[in-house]
């Protein structure tokens, strides 16, 4: 990107940020967990809320918020996200060897929209691009310096989203199943990357061992997500609703208050495995349904109607839309005042448009993988793609979860298009 294009990109990021300032996606988690935990770190050097230690969520986002508070305020995390977004997009063009075109702004919107949300995935999506840039460099150079830098960034990612632990075995298997990789990359040296990753994640495990007598390297909400995800099929055989309240209600029957606690996680994990072992066909149906949603469900594109609608009204409207089914969702929107109705219609039209764009990009991606000669970047993106598909189909689908790999899929497609287009 030349200097002029970079200025356009900065303007575009700021423009999307302003339009999406009223977003409510993930803000319950931000207000109930990230912000109180960040204040706990800043004021008491503890990871707790009201004196109670937490093992959910991973502490990366709250630590970063507490650092932002030293120089400005907690909400300055958004400024950090936008800066990181800017550099990640530049790395994106470098990684995939792309020439910037003005129409790319349309394609970049879902990634930028994600980066304007106060949520750990906004950081992770950018760090993934930076990690891949460093990983490619380490695969080509085989130097310990590049390998260690890659491991540090992957370790930082895991301190934000621990489900990327599953990426490690996938990445090793996919990379070293190809003779060209085995011939040019030292497996022993490459494993230093994952040793470095483990060392960066180790403090979280040690802290959990001290606090809970459990050397746990992941967040303790995983089993809750697994359990409520069984309710993503309507009229499911388990009679579970895909809401957090379902997990709270179940562990309460077992005498546990918090489903996100380590004890709550153990109970819900056992129940999850028991349910799918007793009804594997039902679980398979859920996986197929989620996989289809992965293709046609689209990506997060922002909540631009919220800038015109009071927050309390927007939350009420969204709750009503989510409770409705099929065409009834449109009826809910049409019953709102003009101030609310038209901004939401405009927002939903954008969402529908990007459903088509995402499905097209994904189909082209799969076709490209089938037709192309495999190189390092293709193998790395394939590992991320399979990782996301496993998480989405096997556990939980939310369209905003797709955004973290959106640029990777887009990059493979654009790379195969003649650069004059």
Domain boundaries, the chain: 3-220+347-415, 221-279
CB 253 within 8 A of CB 266: no
CA angle 269, 293, 279 (to 5 degrees): 40
Crossing angle for the helix pair 120-141 and 104-115, to the nearest 10 degrees = 120
- Give the integer Cα–Cα distance in Å for 70 and 341: 41
Query: Which phi and psi (to 5°) does residue 159 adopt?
Result: -75, -10
Tell me the C-alpha distance between 72 and 70, whole Å. Answer: 6
Label residue 381 exposed, middle or buried (CB < 10 Å: 0-12, 13-18, 19+).
buried
Q: How many helices (H) and strands (E) does the chain have?
A: 20, 2
pLDDT at 417: 80
**pLDDT tens readout for residues 15-69:** 999 999 999 999 999 999 999 999 999 999 999 999 999 999 999 999 999 999 9
Confirm if 354 and 299 have CB atoms less than 8 A apart.
Answer: yes
Indicate the DSSP class of residue 309: S
CA contacts within 13 A on the Cβ side of 36: 15
Instruction: Please state the φ and ψ torsions of residue 48, each to the nearest 5 degrees.
Output: -150, 165
Q: How far is CA 308 from CA 15, 319, 338, in A?
A: 15, 18, 11
Per the CB < 8 A criterion, the answer to whether 132 and 96 are in contact is: no
Cα-trace Rg, the chain = 22
Q: Decide: helix, strand or coil at residue 51.
A: coil
The answer to whether the beta carbons of residues 311 and 24 sit under 8 Å apart is: yes
Burial code (b: 16+ CB inside 10 Å, e: under 16) for 8-39 equals ebeebbeebbebbebbebbbebbeebbbbbbb
Q: Taking the model in full, what pTM does it have?
A: 0.96
Contact (Cβ atoms closer than 8 angstroms) between residue 126 and residue 81: yes
Q: β-strand 48-49 against 52-53: which pairing, if any? A: antiparallel
Full pLDDT tens readout for the chain, 421 residues: 889 999 999 999 999 999 999 999 999 999 999 999 999 999 999 999 999 999 999 999 999 999 999 999 999 999 999 999 999 999 999 999 999 999 999 999 999 999 999 999 999 999 999 999 999 999 999 999 999 999 999 999 999 999 999 999 999 999 999 999 999 999 999 999 999 999 999 999 999 999 999 999 999 999 999 999 999 988 899 999 999 999 999 999 999 999 999 999 999 999 999 999 999 999 999 999 999 999 999 999 999 999 999 989 999 999 899 888 888 888 999 999 998 999 999 999 999 999 999 999 999 999 998 887 889 999 999 999 999 999 999 998 999 999 999 999 999 999 988 665 5
Judge if the upstream peptide bond of residue 49 is cis by omega within 30 degrees of 0: no
How is residue 74 annotated by DSSP? G
């Amino acid at each position: 990107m030349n200097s002029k294009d970079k200025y356009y990109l900065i303007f575009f990021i700021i423009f999307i940020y302003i339009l999406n300032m009223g977003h409510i996606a993930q803000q319950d988690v931000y207000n109930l967990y990230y912000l109180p935990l960040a204040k706990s770190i800043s004021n008491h050097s503890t990871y707790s809320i009201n004196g109670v230690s937490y093992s959910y969520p991973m502490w990366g986002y709250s630590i970063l918020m507490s650092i932002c508070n030293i120089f400005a305020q907690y909400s300055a995390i958004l400024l950090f996200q936008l800066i990181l977004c800017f550099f990640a997009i530049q790395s994106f063009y470098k990684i995939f060897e792309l020439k910037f075109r003005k129409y790319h702004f349309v394609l970049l919107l879902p990634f930028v929209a994600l980066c304007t949300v106060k949520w750990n995935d906004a950081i992770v999506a950018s760090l993934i691009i930076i990690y891949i840039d460093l990983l490619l460099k380490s695969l080509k150079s085989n130097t310990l310096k590049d390998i260690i830098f890659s491991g540090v960034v992957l370790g930082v990612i895991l301190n934000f989203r621990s489900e990327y632990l599953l990426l490690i075995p996938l990445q090793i298997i996919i990379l070293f199943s190809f003779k060209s990789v085995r011939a040019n990359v030292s497996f022993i040296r490459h494993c230093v990357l994952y040793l470095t990753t483990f060392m960066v994640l180790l403090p979280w495990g040690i802290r959990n061992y001290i606090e809970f007598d459990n050397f746990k390297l992941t967040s303790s909400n995983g089993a809750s997500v697994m359990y409520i995800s069984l309710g993503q099929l309507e009229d499911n055989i388990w009679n579970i609703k895909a809401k957090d309240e379902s997990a709270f209600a179940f562990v309460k029957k077992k005498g546990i208050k918090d489903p996100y606690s380590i004890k709550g996680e153990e109970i819900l994990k056992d129940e999850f495995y028991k349910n799918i072992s007793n009804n594997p066909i039902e679980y398979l149906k859920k996986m197929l349904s989620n996989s289809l949603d992965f293709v046609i469900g689209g990506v997060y594109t922002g909540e631009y109607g919220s800038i015109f609608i009071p927050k309390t009204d927007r939350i009420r409207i969204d709750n009503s839309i989510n409770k409705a089914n099929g065409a009834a969702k449109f009826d809910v929107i049409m019953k709102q005042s003009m101030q609310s109705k038209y901004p939401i219609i405009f927002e939903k039209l954008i969402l529908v448009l990007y459903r088509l764009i995402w499905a097209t990009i994904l189909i082209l991606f799969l076709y490209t993988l089938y037709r192309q000669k495999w190189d390092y970047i293709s193998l790395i993106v394939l590992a991320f793609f399979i990782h996301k598909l496993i998480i989405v189909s096997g556990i939980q689908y939310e369209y905003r979860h797709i955004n973290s790999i959106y640029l990777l899929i887009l990059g493979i497609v654009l790379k195969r298009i003649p650069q004059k287009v």
